[in-house]
Structure 1
Amino acid sequence: MENKNVIYKSLIKALAATTTGVMLSLVAPAQTALAQDVAAIAAEVGLPDFTKVVERTESGVVNIRTTESVPVRRPMSGGPGGDPYDMFRWFFGPDFAPPGVDPRGPRGQAPGVPDQQERTVPRGVGSGFIISDDGYILTNNHVVANANGIFVTLTDGKEYPAKIIGTDERTDVALIKIEAKNLPALKIGDSNTLKKGQWVLAIGSPFGLESTVTSGIVSAINRDTGDYLPFIQTDVAVNPGNSGGPLINLSGEVVGVNSQIVSRSGGFMGISLAIPIDEAMRVVEQLKAHGRVTRGRIGVQITPVAEDVAKALGLTDSKGALVSSVEENGPAAKAGIQAGDVILKFDGKKIDQMSDLPRIVGSVKPGENAPAEVWRKGKAVNVKIQVEEMPSNDAKPTPTASKDTAPSETDALGLSVEAVSPEELKRLGVPSAVRVVQAGEPASGVGLQNGDIILRINDSDVGTLAQYGKLVAGLDKSKPAAVLVLRSGQSQWVLITPAK
């Protein structure tokens, strides 16, 4: 390559010394050779050529425009059929009327409620892509939500009205259909194989500019933003209008659905988020079959596993989901799950972080018995939970405490406690517990309060007052004890170093 560069430099110097006519005759072939050599260099160093990918996939991406109905106020006019006092009401309020004039106006409408008409106006522009040759199209829910008209334009300029097959607000996935045949469907890839640094393309209609192609790399995978799904993060330029369009790998396969951007300006700032195509297609299958999505639930509330708590519980790392409360008579309670358990696996899948559990449980078909591995009292316990269907409004119980029996004396944790009645234990869904009557140091210093329910100390359940007293008396005062505390229906592990 160095020799070729020397030749090109010599050629340029020679051309500069020639007449214009000779220069033109030499530059054309030199430019052709140079272009070919640049392409060869790009291939040699591994730079991607996107042209073939775009040629194979562009026709499968569509533009989606939507319309909506908006109310139209009747004109303020004193003409025939109009109200001559509309203009005055605009300034002085809806009840204005001169003496002797009916404030309801000539049409008899209520004050301040003008005649309403509706007209259809453009609502927005988005993108989508064809997933089957008979007209099924995948896009984002927010692209088509609340629209009274959906129109799909193909790359050849043909436009079709579309109908909604089903939408899922939780994952922001929508399935729509047009009446057309032999459409160029895109090939669905496997988002589980994505790696950081991998080249990807986005095709869509940013700001209404159809068939726009942008490129970038995968910046992160399984990006948790607090939403129901983990996202693919990229630095592909995605702007308003790209929503619902495909994220494509260099094999021409769809690996994601462009959905969100992280931006302070409303435009692209280097962070784009896409729904993994595996997750999106699972939703599509249900939308296509039933028009809606059903999800599983097990009736627990969870929190992250803090690193110091994991260490105190004997876990090797802070992975998993810590059960803070268990719904009475719910699926988890029936399977024996207890507050304070750490769920490590569900349905054969590892729970690396707390947010993994709702997604995995939600993907299980209601009615199925799913295996779960939980960490309890220093060892792993395997159970099976029959998953129930998640209702639209999932009410969560909020247990409360009640007074019972005489309190104990203040102990090494700084606590004075009392027993909990069998009736309340049943309502709380716990086998045994004591209630804090008075919280002092060191317990109060880490947040314990009067009325808190203590369920477990380290690996031992709290039983009677006497058993609790023995547990506290036997604590090693040189290291913190892990205490499982229930408050307002939520339980969490708290580390307390006993007083010496």
Structure 2
Amino acid sequence: MKKLLILCCFFFVGNLSANELIQTIKKIKPSVVGIGVYTPTGRPKNTLHGTGFVVGNGQFIVTNHHVVPKELKRDLLQELAVFVVAGKETIVRKATLIDWSAKYDLALLKIEGKALPAMKLGSEKFIDEGSEIAFTGFPIGAALGLYPATHRGIVAAITPTITPVDAAKQINIAMLKRLRDPYLVYQLDATAYPGNSGSALYEADTGVVIGVINKVFVQETKEGVISKPSGITYAIPVKHVLALLKKNKVK
């Protein structure tokens, strides 16, 4: 009887097979890029700020607005850059910030040169809670390098985007405006780390993008997210990506 129970558990835990996820990762990895700064006179020359993914005709990149550097040091010839992983080699592609949404923490970049494989975007409709998801990016990439890593989990909840604060002095005007008009985001039970910001959140079995990773619930300090991860991650729904692309006539 015990043997039968073990076999039943083995066959019915989760709907996604390991092979399905393996094939999905192989399919989407060429579309995952690093976002950062290229400094030709610096050491290191490449500085990673986060992750992005290819959309449209292969020359556009979506990432988080907070990942894009606010200022570049022109005296050092710094440029906004997209880092493309090609085996053990990293190719630097110069990029231009086309548009952004501070409210939804999204940014649209355009790269120079040859088009890259683009990811397929989902519809404006939310997927169901409990759906199996994954995201691939560069967690702690500044230290570990450009080696794409995949995390998986489920959609734990669809919840308003509200950032808790420890004290009243942390509340500002921008936060009050957001509190008056919150929008729904995905809450995940998978853990993201610094460097994952801007990663595409996708259906684990198809690779279709349903959102963009943008923040992690931190229990103590920002540094503590590495040693004491909360296991709660948030993602912006893809409907806001679609709106940004439509505004800029990106198909």
- Distance in 2, Cα, partners of 1:62 & 1:4: 46
Q: Which residue of 2 aligns with 1:254?
A: 209
Q: Give the 3 Å change call, closer, same or farther, for CA 181–143 of structure 1 in structure 2.
A: same
- Distance in 2, Cα, partners of 1:254 & 1:138: 11
CA contact 1:238–1:272 (8 Å) conserved in 2: yes
Residue 54 (1) aligns with residue 15 (2):
no
Which residue identity is paired with 1:233? Answer: Q
How far residue 55 of structure 1 moved from its aligned partner, in angstroms, is: 1.2
Residue 212 (1) aligns with residue 166 (2):
no
Structure 1 unaligned blocks of 5 or more = 6-37, 69-118, 291-500
Q: Give the 3 Å change call, closer, same or farther, for CA 251–134 of structure 1 in structure 2.
A: closer
Q: Give the 3 Å change call, closer, same or farther, for CA 223–167 of structure 1 in structure 2.
A: same
Given the alignment, which residue of 187, 198, 221 partners 1:244?
Answer: 198
Residue 280 (1) aligns with residue 235 (2):
no
CA contact 2:53–2:62 (8 Å) conserved in 1: yes
- Distance in 1, Cα, partners of 2:13 & 2:215: 32
CA contact 2:37–2:69 (8 Å) conserved in 1: no
How far residue 192 of structure 1 moved from its aligned partner, in angstroms, is: 2.0
CA contact 1:124–1:143 (8 Å) conserved in 2: no
How far residue 171 of structure 1 moved from its aligned partner, in angstroms, is: 1.5
Q: Give the 3 Å change call, closer, same or farther, for CA 121–211 of structure 1 in structure 2.
A: closer
- Distance in 2, Cα, partners of 1:120 & 1:45: 45
Given the alignment, which residue of 80, 100, 120 partners 1:150?
Answer: 80
User: Which residues in structure 2 correspond to 1:87-486 (within 5 Å)?
Assistant: 124-148=48-72, 149-156=79-86, 157-190=90-123, 192-208=125-141, 209=144, 210-225=147-162, 226=179, 228-249=182-203, 250-263=205-218, 264-266=220-222, 267=225, 268-286=229-247, 288-289=248-249
- The two structures, once aligned, show a CA RMSD in angstroms of 3.0
CA contact 1:125–1:207 (8 Å) conserved in 2: no
CA contact 2:51–2:137 (8 Å) conserved in 1: yes
Instruction: Provide TM-score, normalisation by structure 1.
Output: 0.38
How far residue 66 of structure 1 moved from its aligned partner, in angstroms, is: 2.4
CA contact 1:223–1:233 (8 Å) conserved in 2: no
- Distance in 1, Cα, partners of 2:65 & 2:53: 14
How far residue 180 of structure 1 moved from its aligned partner, in angstroms, is: 3.0
Once the two structures are superposed, residues 169-200 of structure 1 have per-residue CA deviations (whole angstroms, 9 ceiling, x without a partner) of 12211000112334210010135241111111
CA contact 1:132–1:183 (8 Å) conserved in 2: no
Instruction: Provide TM-score, normalisation by structure 2.
Output: 0.72
How far residue 284 of structure 1 moved from its aligned partner, in angstroms, is: 2.7
Bigger relative contact order, structure 1 or 2 (CA pairs below 8 A, ≥6 apart): 2
Once the two structures are superposed, residues 269-300 of structure 1 have per-residue CA deviations (whole angstroms, 9 ceiling, x without a partner) of 111110000122202322x249xxxxxxxxxx
Task: Provide the secondary structure at the position in 1 that maps to 2:125.
Answer: helix
- Distance in 1, Cα, partners of 2:44 & 2:22: 39
CA contact 1:244–1:257 (8 Å) conserved in 2: yes
Task: Provide the secondary structure at the position in 1 that maps to 2:85.
Answer: coil
- Distance in 2, Cα, partners of 1:243 & 1:142: 8
Task: Provide the secondary structure at the position in 2 that maps to 1:59.
Answer: helix
Q: Give the 3 Å change call, closer, same or farther, for CA 42–132 of structure 1 in structure 2.
A: farther
CA contact 2:35–2:50 (8 Å) conserved in 1: yes
Q: Which residue of 1 aligns with 2:171?
A: none
Fraction of identical pairs, as percent: 29
Which residue identity is paired with 1:152? Answer: V
User: Which residues in structure 2 correspond to 1:6-85 (within 5 Å)?
Assistant: 42=10, 44-48=12-16, 49=18, 50-66=21-37
How far residue 147 of structure 1 moved from its aligned partner, in angstroms, is: 3.7
Task: Provide the secondary structure at the position in 2 that maps to 1:54.
Answer: helix
